[in-house]
Structure 1
Amino acid sequence: MEYLILIAGLAVVALVIGGVVFLRPGRRKPSPPVEHAERPEVPRTGTTVLEKEDQAAPPAERAPPVEEAPVRPGVEIEQPPPGAGRLVRLRARLARSQNAFGKTLLGLLSRDTLDDDAWEEIEDTLIGADIGVAVSRQITEALRTRVQVLGTRSVEEVRALLKEELVKQIGPDFDRAVRTEPHGDKPAVVMVVGVNGTGKTTTTGKLARVLVGDGRTVLLGAADTFRAAAADQLQTWGERVGAEVVRKEEGADPASVAFDAVKRGIESKVDTVIVDTAGRLHTKTGLMDELGKVKRVIEKQAAVGEVLLVLDATTGQNGMQQARVFAEVVNITGIVLTKLDGTAKGGIVVQVQRELGVPVKLVGLGEGPDDLAPFEPEAFVDAILGDA
């Protein structure tokens, strides 16, 4: 009997010890590791401040994803040269295209005998340079009178006479300053208008460089929403000089882009907002409605100080027709003549000013980023006539 009790006790002890051992943590047989497929690394163009803040926030507080343009790596901000003296520095570009015109005139005026045929040839040369018939006749008559009074005609004297007459016709008294100074707490606003293909968007970017070179802060508005390439092009120009660009999707309301650009310019306290507008010329009525709306919307926040019309100097009379349409649609305050280095007809400066009654304020003299220059009549005429 005692023997049976002893066996039963040993069995109970064994069961207790076995249960403890079985239930102890860490004694389970470890599960085999689960192999996860390695996630491919997705190339990124940079993490924005917004994304960093979003990642740090609890899931419930995270903002919805924001669509934004990718940050392009490796874009260095450039410091362009100032605007003052640019035309003098670019004089060689003008001299190459315009010098034949100047040399022809100087050669004709320096002849020993100036008969009626010679004066007619002088007038024809002026007309051929796109100065216009009426103005060419005025210049010829003024030169004829002064040469007869002067008597002798050295090259230096003829050059001085011709320079004086040309500068007079170009209009030295025009106010050619581009109004880009802020008004109190509001930025200056510049609208750039013109037909696509004249260099309008490029001019907007180059003007930003001129202003940054002069120490101004600039914001660009990509209101030409009918061409995606225009906004992309403006983005590139802005990145190079550190200027913010306000843009929207292709086909968005141009007036909405202009409004947001000026609003952003006020908030960020920039000196100047430049708005690039669409250049379609389907009908005068459509153009008027569109540009008028853009201007009205901008002026709800800030005054439009400049409306610059961009013209291609190589298009001649076709460019003049475009200029007339825009002049009827919107109050133009100044003209930008692009590709002036690509034509020998520099007289378009005189013609377009007389036609529209507004000054040429800027000229484009090449494909380089800093080839836009403030227009200076005397430097322009000096380049045409070359050295005496």
Structure 2
Amino acid sequence: MNWFKKLKDGLSKSSKKVSESLAGLPSLSALIGKSKLDAASLEEVEDALIAADLGTASAIRLATALKAHKFDGPVDADSIALALADGLEAILKPVAKPLEIDPQNRPHVVLLVGVNGSGKTTTAGKLAQNWQAKGKTVLLAAGDTFRAAAVEQLQIWGERTGTKVIAEATGGDAAALAYRAMVQAKEDNADVLIIDTAGRLQNRSELMDELAKIVRVIRKLDDSAPHDSVIVLDGTVGQNAMSQVKAFSAVADLSGLIVTKLDGSAKGGVVVALAEEFGLPVHAVGVGEGADDLQPFAADEFAKALAGVDSEMDGRNVGE
């Protein structure tokens, strides 16, 4: 199965929510067969898109774009979907940026942060696999020292991909582990160091303070690190992702997002809300558990999949 098909299938619940929200509007159904959406439908369209988790600012922007859209022939469900995809792509294109390694950094440090259960450890393993496959030397740091299962999970990824994993006993100091991993990565002249961190709720100040300490310790060895501070977001949480990005930005100086588990709910529209609100790069999206199920974020593909438009495109690998 190619990536677009997998993405479209993964976003099917979200695209169904968007299409059903719009299809149920009396003002839109009354316009079927006409050549333009009328002003009376604008507020209803906005409400429908907000209900589909696209966020208020995005909904207003998209509704305005739909109202101004010059339809090529009579309005129908397909033409509305195509017009919506165009509007979505305009919002998403500026933030579609792959996670790239700067060869000037030895190592290039990628810090993964986020709340419990967002998929950080799995994402760390998938990123390692992708970069190892490209011939890069990668180290993994098991910074989630609270959970033995997280360390074991990362070690399994390490064995599977031939990646060295730096770990400590459960309950160890995460900042000390990060420091040791930095020293080891420099000694190994590694291309990349991926630091997994413990899941922490954004309203737990002591845990956020620990994350700030990890960042300070990393910078003792390289004041430009971490070179990427990426929040991994669970796509099933919907609008709660917004408060997570705000909180982690204040502590870890976020440089980008990876959104996982988009196949698990009808809340995939939150990616659009995040793009509109924060403008942070969206590096990759995930729609499954396999290593190939995390792919670089492509605005055109995502927009078409979310709007329910059929298209055929080839997949790519993260880190291109």
Q: What range describes the TM-score normalised by the shorter chain of this pair?
A: 0.7 to 0.9
The corresponding residue for 1:348 is 270
The corresponding residue for 2:171 is 251
Q: Which amino acid aligns with 1:166?
A: L
Q: Check 1:217–1:342 CA distance in 2 against 1; reply closer, same or farther (3 A cut).
A: same
Which one of the candidate residues 211, 231, 245 is aligned to 1:309? 231
Structure 1 residue 101: Cα displacement? 3.8
Is the contact made by 1:99 and 1:386 (CA closer than 8 Å) also made in structure 2?
Answer: no
* SS across alignment from 1:370: helix
Cα deviation, 1:128-184, whole Å, max 9, x if unaligned, reads 221112321221122112248x664466654442221111122x1236121323325
Is the contact made by 1:338 and 1:365 (CA closer than 8 Å) also made in structure 2?
Answer: yes
Is the contact made by 2:231 and 2:254 (CA closer than 8 Å) also made in structure 1?
Answer: yes
Alignment partner of 1:99 is 2:22: no
Q: Distance in 1 between matches of 2:272 and 2:160?
A: 34
Q: Check 1:283–1:162 CA distance in 2 against 1; reply closer, same or farther (3 A cut).
A: closer
* SS across alignment from 2:112: strand
Alignment partner of 1:292 is 2:228: no
The corresponding residue for 1:333 is 255
TM-score (norm 1): 0.70
The corresponding residue for 2:195 is 275
Q: Check 1:263–1:314 CA distance in 2 against 1; reply closer, same or farther (3 A cut).
A: same
* SS across alignment from 1:300: helix
Q: Which runs of 4+ in 1 moved over 6 A?
A: none
The corresponding residue for 1:262 is 182
Q: Which amino acid aligns with 1:193?
A: V
* SS across alignment from 2:155: helix
Which one of the candidate residues 210, 213, 220 is aligned to 2:133? 213
The CA RMSD over aligned residues, in Å, is: 2.7
The corresponding residue for 1:161 is 83
Alignment partner of 1:126 is 2:49: yes
Structure 1 residue 117: Cα displacement? 6.2
Is the contact made by 1:106 and 1:155 (CA closer than 8 Å) also made in structure 2?
Answer: no
Structure label with greater radius of gyration: 1
Structure 1 residue 90: Cα displacement? 2.7
Which one of the candidate residues 162, 176, 182 is aligned to 2:97? 176
Alignment partner of 1:111 is 2:27: no
Q: Distance in 1 between matches of 2:11 and 2:243?
A: 27
Alignment partner of 1:187 is 2:187: no
- Work out the percentage of aligned pairs sharing the same amino acid: 41
Is the contact made by 2:113 and 2:196 (CA closer than 8 Å) also made in structure 1?
Answer: yes
Structure 1 residue 330: Cα displacement? 1.6
Give the structure, 1 or 2, with the largest relative contact order (CA under 8 Å, sep 6 or more): 2
* SS across alignment from 1:291: helix
* SS across alignment from 2:232: strand
The corresponding residue for 1:371 is 293
Alignment partner of 1:224 is 2:144: yes
Alignment partner of 1:387 is 2:310: yes
Q: Which amino acid aligns with 2:240?
A: N
Q: Check 1:119–1:357 CA distance in 2 against 1; reply closer, same or farther (3 A cut).
A: closer
TM-score (norm 2): 0.84
Structure 1 residue 373: Cα displacement? 1.2
Q: Check 1:163–1:209 CA distance in 2 against 1; reply closer, same or farther (3 A cut).
A: same
Structure 1: unaligned runs, 5 residues or longer: 1-84
The corresponding residue for 1:322 is 244
Structure 2: unaligned runs, 5 residues or longer: 312-320
Q: Check 1:370–1:146 CA distance in 2 against 1; reply closer, same or farther (3 A cut).
A: closer
* SS across alignment from 1:178: coil
